[in-house]
């Protein structure tokens, strides 16, 4: 355990943004760190506000006693999901594996260090939930003073057991699939299902408030959380400890967490070298047949390399692939249930019909497909392989043209399919459908080129884990948020102008403007690549 703490302290120092801020003389890096910190603090504040609202709901209906159990369950679920998604990047197949394994430490110490690093990096999210729920609980329950420090201390141990369970599950998946190429398939499917559930949760909540089901739902949720605490014992121990000050519950939560920690990494340590070696290498195929070698252009080869990169990374696949999947699912759903019913659900009965939304069809589809462009994060994903690209006899313009080609290959087919489905569902005329398809392709081109501009300008190669650039990178944030809000505004504007202008003229104007912006972004990306 002492060796793991030594390794953890060194790893935190080497990856600390605070150290970079203290010792760097680059003002651009300092501004970037300050901006990222402000953005993350805003996200923490939003999460805390959401949790306080939950406690207010429980308190208003006299169900505040269920808040500790809900707090434990939220932290446990979040810890399990976060860890499951990060296991194949933090615990296994990580960047400094060769360096750490060459040190005079046991393999279980290295594995425990990586787990603790993952725990420390995620701890602010867990504390945001527990602090907010503690404040809400204190406002309505008025507990004794000793409950507050006890709540804080036990909050540090709440995510340990679910994180250990997720790490062990990730270990089993990695152990079984170590000899296969597609090790991230199961994680990708689970993540996509979870994201789709979160997307549909908005409409469930709206239905509850619209039909005055809040009190009944909270009472049901209170009963369900109490039943869940009987099944998931750590949640019950936490609730018993902070509400009844049960010493046995405190000792059980602390003791079981420590015992499971030692047991899991004693098991993981035995196969740790084998799993990481298998993940870093690929077995040769047994059946080999000599055939003529196919010749492809350099740009197409780079695009294919980007596809191999995406298919081998769960976070990359989910973050950049969820938009195209959502677009396809919504377009198919519109064909099945009809556009009018879907419009009524989304707009809550606003006086809109399918004909009014026709001019906005390309922008509605682009809202999902252009959510995150692969070009926004793919330059940073080169990471430690960046020097290989520098040593190749290939210009940077060619490299980024290949990356842009891959994003076009990924998005254009889904864009065309979704637009066709929506045009059929809304009975759009054939000339309008053709114009919408052209506008959709122009939007994909703009998304690709603008994402590449963001990716080159805010490239980051010193990442510890791919998630830091795929989900938390400055390039992705700068691309995503302005793009999302602008598209929402353009959708409303197209619906408004569609009631006063000819739809074909409006689509033609949209094609001209979008094509010009795509061309400017493309030239800007090539200019940045040439520097």
Angle in degrees, 0-180, between the axes of helices 361-369 and 314-337, rounded to the nearest 10: 150
Nearest to residue 368, comparing CAs of 336, 299, 320? 320
End-to-end Cα distance, the chain: 48
In whole angstroms, give the CA distance from residue 25 to residue 18: 13
| Cα 331 off chain centre by | 23
Listed by start position, the domains of the chain span: 36-279, 298-530
pLDDT at 284: 46
Check whether 158 has a pLDDT greater than 70: yes
In whole angstroms, give the CA distance from residue 40 to residue 212: 35
Check whether 208 has a pLDDT greater than 60: no
> How many helices (H) and strands (E) would you count in the chain?
24, 0
Check whether 180 has a pLDDT greater than 70: no
pLDDT at 58: 76
Residue-wise pLDDT tens digits, 408-426: 999 999 999 999 998 888 8
* Residue-averaged pLDDT of the chain: 77
Mean pLDDT for 289-296 is 57
Provide, rounded to the nearest whole percent, the portion of the chain with pLDDT above 90: 11
Predicted confidence band at 11 (pLDDT cuts at 50, 70, 90)?
confident
In three state form, how does the secondary structure of 191-225 look? HHHHHHHHHHHHHHHHHHHHCCCHHHHHHHHHHHH
Mean pLDDT for 184-207 is 48
Longest dimension (CA), the chain: 78
If you average pLDDT over each of 131-135, 213-217, 286-290, 442-446, which comes out highest?
A: 442-446
In three state form, how does the secondary structure of 73-105 look? HHHHHHHHHHHHHHHHHHHCCCCCHHHHHCCCC
pLDDT at 274: 66
If you average pLDDT over each of 140-144, 177-181, 341-345, 401-405, which comes out highest?
A: 401-405
| Cα 26 off chain centre by | 29
Mean pLDDT for 17-40 is 78
Alpha helix locations (H) across 338-466? Answer: 339-347, 354-357, 361-369, 374-381, 386-391, 396-426, 430-457
Query: Which backbone phi and psi does 370 adopt, to 5 degrees?
Result: -90, 15
In contact, 497 and 506? CB cutoff 8 Å: yes
pLDDT at 305: 84
C-alpha distances (whole Å) from 59 to each of 139, 141, 142, 184 are 9, 8, 11, 42
Paired tokens of 140: 């309505």
Provide, rounded to the nearest whole percent, the portion of the chain with pLDDT above 70: 76
pTM, two decimals, is 0.62
Residue 381: other Cβ atoms inside 10 A: 24
Look at 454 and 36; give whichever has higher pLDDT: 454
Check whether 439 has a pLDDT greater than 90: yes
Residue-wise pLDDT tens digits, 225-247: 555 556 678 888 888 888 888 88
Predicted confidence band at 406 (pLDDT cuts at 50, 70, 90)?
very high
pLDDT at 168: 80
pLDDT at 263: 85
C-alpha distances (whole Å) from 356 to each of 68, 348, 351, 352 are 48, 16, 10, 7
Q: CA gyration radius for the chain?
A: 26
Residue-wise pLDDT tens digits, 348-370: 555 566 677 788 889 989 988 98
């Amino acid at each position: 355990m002492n060796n793991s703490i030594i390794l953890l302290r060194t790893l935190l120092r080497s990856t600390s943004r605070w150290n970079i801020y203290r010792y760097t003389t680059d003002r651009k890096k300092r501004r970037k760190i300050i901006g990222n910190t402000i953005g993350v603090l805003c996200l923490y504040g939003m999460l805390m506000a959401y949790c306080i609202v939950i406690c207010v709901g429980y308190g208003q209906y006299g169900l505040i006693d269920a808040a500790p159990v809900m707090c434990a369950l939220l932290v446990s679920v979040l810890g399990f999901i976060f860890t499951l998604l990060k296991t194949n990047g933090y615990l296994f197949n990580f960047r400094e594996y060769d360096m750490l394994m060459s040190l005079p430490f046991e393999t279980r110490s290295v594995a425990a260090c990586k787990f603790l690093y993952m725990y420390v990096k995620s701890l602010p999210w867990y504390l945001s939930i527990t602090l907010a729920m503690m404040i809400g609980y204190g406002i309505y329950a008025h507990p004794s003073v000793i409950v507050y420090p006890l709540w804080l201390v036990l909050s540090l141990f709440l995510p340990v057991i679910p994180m250990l369970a997720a790490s062990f599950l990730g270990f089993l998946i990695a152990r079984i699939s170590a000899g296969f190429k597609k090790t991230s398939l199961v994680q990708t499917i689970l993540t996509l299902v979870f994201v789709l559930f979160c997307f549909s949760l908005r409409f469930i909540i709206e239905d509850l408030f619209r039909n005055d089901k809040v009190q009944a739902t909270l009472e049901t949720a209170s009963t369900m959380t109490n039943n869940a605490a009987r099944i998931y014992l750590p949640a019950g121990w936490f609730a018993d400890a902070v509400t009844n000050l049960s010493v046995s519950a405190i000792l059980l939560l602390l003791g079981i967490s420590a015992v499971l920690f030692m047991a899991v990494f004693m098991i993981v340590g035995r196969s740790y070298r084998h799993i990481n070696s298998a993940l870093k290498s690929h077995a040769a195929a047994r059946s080999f047949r000599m055939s003529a070698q196919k010749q492809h252009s350099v740009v197409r080869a780079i695009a294919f390399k980007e596809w191999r990169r995406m298919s081998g990374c769960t976070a990359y696949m989910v973050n950049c692939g969820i938009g195209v999947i959502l677009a396809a699912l919504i377009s198919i759903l519109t064909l099945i249930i009809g556009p009018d019913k879907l419009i009524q659900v989304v707009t809550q009965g606003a006086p809109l019909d399918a004909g009014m939304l026709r001019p906005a069809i390309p922008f509605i589809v682009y809202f999902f497909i252009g959510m995150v462009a692969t070009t926004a994060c793919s330059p940073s994903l080169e990471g430690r392989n960046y020097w290989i690209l520098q040593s190749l006899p290939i210009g940077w313009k060619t490299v980024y043209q290949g990356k842009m080609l891959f994003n076009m290959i990924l998005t254009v087919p889904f864009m065309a399919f979704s637009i066709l489905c929506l045009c059929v569902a809304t009975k759009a005329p054939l000339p309008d459908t053709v114009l919408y398809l052209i506008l959709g392709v122009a939007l994909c081109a703009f998304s690709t080129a603008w994402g590449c501009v963001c990716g080159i300008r805010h490239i980051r190669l010193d990442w510890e884990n791919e998630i830091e650039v795929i989900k938390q990178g400055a390039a992705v944030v700068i691309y995503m948020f302005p793009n999302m809000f602008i598209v929402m505004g353009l959708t409303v504007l197209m619906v408004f102008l569609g009631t006063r202008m000819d739809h074909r003229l409006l689509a033609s104007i949209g094609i001209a403007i979008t094509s010009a912006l795509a061309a400017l972004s493309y030239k800007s990306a090539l200019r940045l690549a040439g520097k």
